[in-house]
Amino acid sequence: MDLLIGLAGNSSIFAVTVNSNNGILRILYAMGREGMLPRRLAAISPRLGTPAFAVYAQSGFAVVVTVVMGFWGGPFNTYAYLGAVLTFGIIPVYWSTNVACMRLFRKQRPEQFKPLRHVVLPVLAIGLIVIPVYGSVWPLPAAPYNWFPYAVLGYISSPQLPRYSAGGVRSC
């Protein structure tokens, strides 16, 4: 039974990795195109019409992470750890998207602005996602789950640290 659970866990990790691949590839491609990452990530394969190097780079990274973590923590823990960390990582994106929706339609497209669609629903969505976030941090979960939100918060805020100096915040 342990073998079947292990195989199910690893196949689930693989499925999530494949499912996430498209979004990650779009980000790598766009950042490569804009020069924020190596431009090679934006190179389009003439045969396939896809950013082939970005596909190989992301796929290789995903395989290495899942295999190493699978050996380190076992398949179930790897799935649970990555699921928790990635969920905490996507929540700020979800919140930011809702805030961006409100701002976009209020400031840049006022003729299309509808209060229900562009204020009430985004605020409701942000509020509703607070419920599982709260449930994930209180009561305090067992280690290592108790430090995952702080690890993600540190990761998200670390690029902002160079903006701060003894004189305050510098504009980028």
CB of 69 closer than 8 Å to CB of 78: yes
Mean per-residue pLDDT, 1-6: 87
Task: Say how far apart CA 96 and CA 116 lie, in whole Å.
Answer: 18
Mean per-residue pLDDT, 102-119: 97
Is the model's pTM score more than 0.85?
A: no
- Tell me what pLDDT residue 121 has: 97
Of 56, 63, 12, the residue nearest 38 (C-alpha): 56
Of 47, 155, 50, 49, the residue nearest 92 (C-alpha): 155
Q: pLDDT of 16-45, one tens digit each? A: 767 778 888 988 999 999 999 999 999 999
Tokens describing residue 158: 């670390």
Of 127, 145, 25, 130, the residue nearest 85 (C-alpha): 145
Mean per-residue pLDDT, 74-96: 89
